[in-house]
Chain A
């Protein structure tokens, strides 16, 4: 069980480095005017960082389907809440 969890802090430090690089990238891009793509790039980078944290720091990469379900269902509801609300407020 220990081995299956991919122990060893080399991978954690690599993920930390990746998160720092992505933070630098998103701050750098924010100084360039890309119009609507500023929002797209910022959200893509944030989601890449969130995935790194969830997969490696929260060990989701090594978890079974049940834990994945518990992690993804709230995201589904969040999309439902934001999408449902916007389908009202955008078309009033």
Chain B
């Protein structure tokens, strides 16, 4: 980072402080999802037969497609942050725009999966497996939706010329949050779709 805004103090210190704040927020997120992962572990060990039978009702291919979609969206974020670090605002906006598009694809696939389940009479109240499945994937879906909002806002900041090679904190921070959303799915996919 180059020097830039001496009136705001040392920008590098501000950047490091923002990063620690974001990681602290991610810590609370780990524990939020962690409570539900604990419920998953407890009930999976208690009812292995139920979990095995029910997990076969999930569409493994759609789950895998969504995994590829989210991993690619994370690549777009990291390429976008790399672009703005080099001062390429238009490239940054294109990358973050691609991330939002991929997030929309993810939610569309999720919508198809949910409606197929409802069509077969499977709801959150059906059994313990689907209670936890809908709760965890639903909470994750809300995070994807919020992430789309945050990334749109950062693109708007860039459109207004507020981001540069000297100041790209919002891009880096929203990116860290997006990678976390990707991380959660990396565990959700095998836990629900693959092992039973």
A residues neighboring B (CB under 8 Å): 1-2, 5, 7-9, 12-13, 15-16, 19-20, 23, 26-27, 30, 38-39, 42-43, 45-46, 49-50, 53-54, 56-58, 66-67, 70-71, 73-75, 77-78, 81-82, 85-86, 89-90
Listed by A's residue number, 5 A-B pairs whose Cβ atoms lie within 8 Å are A13-B75, A42-B190, A42-B191, A50-B187, A57-B78
* B79, A20: Cβ atoms closer than 8 Å: no
Cβ-based interface call for B50 (8 A): no
- Number of CB contacts from chain A to chain B under 8 A: 118
9 smallest A-B Cβ distances: which pairs? A74-B27, A42-B190, A70-B23, A30-B194, A74-B30, A16-B75, A78-B34, A19-B71, A57-B78
Cα distance A85–B180 when bound, in Å? 25
Q: Chain B: how many interface residues by the 8 Å CB criterion?
A: 47
- The smallest C-beta distance from A59 to any residue of chain B, in angstroms, reads 8
Cβ-based interface call for B127 (8 A): no
Which of B46, B79, B175, B193 interacts with A89 by CB under 8 Å?
B46
Q: What does the 1/0 interface line of B98-121 toward A look like (CB < 8 Å)? A: 000000000000000000000000
Q: What does the 1/0 interface line of B7-48 toward A look like (CB < 8 Å)? A: 000001000000110011011101100110110011001100
Which of B12, B77, B82, B186 interacts with A49 by CB under 8 Å?
B186
Given contacts A70-B24, A78-B30, A89-B42, contact A20 B77 (CB under 8 A): no
* B68, A20: Cβ atoms closer than 8 Å: yes
* A71, B190: Cβ atoms closer than 8 Å: no
Which of B34, B179, B194 interacts with A27 by CB under 8 Å?
B194
Cα distance A9–B26 when bound, in Å? 25
Residues of A within 8 A of B179 (CB): 53-54, 57-58
